[in-house]
Amino acid sequence: MSVTEMTETPLLTVEHLTMRFGGLVANNDVSFVARTGEITALIGPNGAGKTTLFNCVTGFYTPTVGRLSLRHPDGREFLLERMPGYRIAQSGVARTFQNIRLFGGMSVLENLIVAQHNKLMDASGFAIAGLFGLPTYAKAEKAALELAKYWLERVRLTEFADWEAGNLPYGAQRRLEIARAMCTEPVLLCLDEPAAGLNPRESGELAEILTFIRDARNPNGHRTGVLLIEHDMSVVMRISDHVVVLDYGRKISDGDPTSVKNDPAVIRAYLGEDEDAELPPEVAGDLPASVVHPAPKEI
Positions that interact with ligand ADP (CB under 6 A)? 21, 24, 26, 44, 46-52, 282, 284, 287, 291, 294
**What is the per-residue binding string for Mg ion in 87-116, x denoting contact by CB under 5 A?**
-----------x------------------
Binding site partner of 289, from ligand ADP, another protein, Mg ion, none, Cβ cut-off 5-8 A by kind: another protein
CA distance 29 to 13: 13
Q: Does 51 bind Mg ion (CB under 5 A)?
A: yes
- Least distance in angstroms from the C-beta of 20 to another protein: 22
CA distance 181 to 288: 21
Binding site partner of 180, from another protein, ligand ADP, Mg ion, none, Cβ cut-off 5-8 A by kind: another protein
Binding site partner of 291, from ligand ADP, another protein, Mg ion, none, Cβ cut-off 5-8 A by kind: ligand ADP
What letter would DSSP give residue 218?
A: P
- Least distance in angstroms from the C-beta of 231 to Mg ion: 9
Residue 227 · residue 239 · CB < 8 Å: no
Assign 177 to helix, strand or coil: helix
CA distance 31 to 13: 8
Binding site partner of 124, from ligand ADP, another protein, Mg ion, none, Cβ cut-off 5-8 A by kind: another protein
What letter would DSSP give residue 107?
A: B
- Least distance in angstroms from the C-beta of 70 to another protein: 14
What's the per-residue H, E or C state across 117-170? Answer: HHHHHHHCCCCHHHHCCCHHHHHHHHHHHHHHHHHHHHCCCHHHCCCEHHHCCH
Binding site partner of 203, from Mg ion, ligand ADP, another protein, none, Cβ cut-off 5-8 A by kind: none
- Least distance in angstroms from the C-beta of 53 to Mg ion: 9
Residue 194 · residue 96 · CB < 8 Å: yes
| Closer CB to Mg ion, 58 or 98, in the complex | 98
Interface ranges with another protein (CB under 8 A):
58, 60, 85-87, 89-90, 94-95, 97, 101-107, 109-110, 113-118, 120-121, 124, 126-127, 130-131, 137, 145, 149, 152, 158-159, 161-164, 167-169, 180-181, 184, 289-290, 292, 298-299
Binding site partner of 95, from Mg ion, ligand ADP, another protein, none, Cβ cut-off 5-8 A by kind: another protein
Closest CA to 61 of 18, 94, 109: 18
Residue 76 · residue 45 · CB < 8 Å: no
Q: Residue 229 belongs to what H/E stretch?
A: strand 225-229
Assign 201 to helix, strand or coil: helix
| Closer CB to another protein, 108 or 196, in the complex | 108
- Least distance in angstroms from the C-beta of 201 to ligand ADP: 26
| Closer CB to ligand ADP, 220 or 290, in the complex | 290
- Least distance in angstroms from the C-beta of 89 to another protein: 4
Residue 186 · residue 128 · CB < 8 Å: no
Positions in the binding site for Mg ion (CB under 5 A): 51, 98
